[in-house]
Amino acid sequence: MLSEVLSLLSNYPHAKILDGTLGLGGYSEAILEAFPGSEVLGIDRDNEAVKFSRERLKVYGSRFTAMLQNFGRLSEIPGIDGYDAYVFDLGVSNMQLALPERGFSFNADGPLDMRMNPDDDSCPTAAEILNNSDAETLTEIFRLYGEERYARKIASAIKRHPPITRTSELVDLIRETLPQPVQRKMGTHPARRVFQALRIYVNNETGELEALLKSLREVSAMREAVILFVSYHSLEDRLIKRAFREWQGEGIGKVLTRHPMTPSPEETERNYKARSAKLRAFFTSRD
């Protein structure tokens, strides 16, 4: 939803902008190109993404800075309350999906890792979660973070299976567990919801989003700024929607998107990942 994001940012052509989910640098590059007077700080918890984007966008000189940081720790960034726009495109990046060794993709075989920061040894891998959790815990993870209808059935099958360490092993197990008529009715890959749930749980994405929203609430009370979120599943969207409504009720700004903006049919055709995207925006005001 890049064009919609740029449209909402169009009132800030000379702004300091935070790209809170840097990834491959696509959003940062588009912002720097669209608004020649802008400066962008891009942050990401994935060091490979930071290094890649730093190299990719070095042509912009001092207008672009990349930093290794988790957006849930936004308040630790010096001068974070001095930005005019904050942009967050949530979820997994294309780079992470494209590298089988990262373990995010159900379409390629690789180790079941799924850590957005693979250098963080304190963070358990998806394989460790699967093999060290009981069936009840896995059922709750799949239901809460993946909205998986067959969570209990899949969780029980996993616990009857030898330790699972590869993405292909998990995909095969899910295909074997779910009846063919069920898989045909899904209209999508049968492992998608389970992979989503594991990724969210491994990286504590919900907790990080809640911490981010708390930090943004504090920033919102200090200056005028626009805050944009692109989310990809209902749990994230509900948290953002609720926070924006609470902020508006507190009188620190206004919701710019009464209903979330969604991708055009043309964008969905170009990028299947965008089909579930929802864009919400909030403008903070000192009035």
Asked whether residue 220 is assigned to any structural domain, the reply reads: yes
Structurally, the chain folds into a number of domains equal to 2
Residue 118 lies in a domain: no
* Domain membership flag for residue 101: no
pLDDT for position 72: 93
Task: For residue range 124-182, list pLDDT tens digits in order.
Answer: 999 999 999 999 999 999 999 999 999 999 999 999 998 999 999 999 999 999 999 88
224 with 191, same domain: the answer is no
Does the residue 119 lie in any domain? Answer: no
- Residues 177, 153, single domain; the answer is yes
> What angle (nearest 5°) sits at the alpha carbon of residue 135, between those of residues 165 and 198?
50
Residue found under tokens 């930071």: 50
Domain boundary among 185, 202, 219: 202
Within this chain, do residues 90 and 156 fall inside the same structural domain, yes or no? no
pTM of the prediction? Answer: 0.92
CA distance 199 to 220: 29
- Taking only the tens place, the pLDDT of each residue in 214-242 is 999 988 767 789 999 999 999 999 999 99
Identify the CATH number of the domain in which residue 247 sits. 3.40.50.150
Q: Show the domain range for 11.
A: 2-95+204-284
**What's the CATH code of the domain at 170?**
1.10.150.170
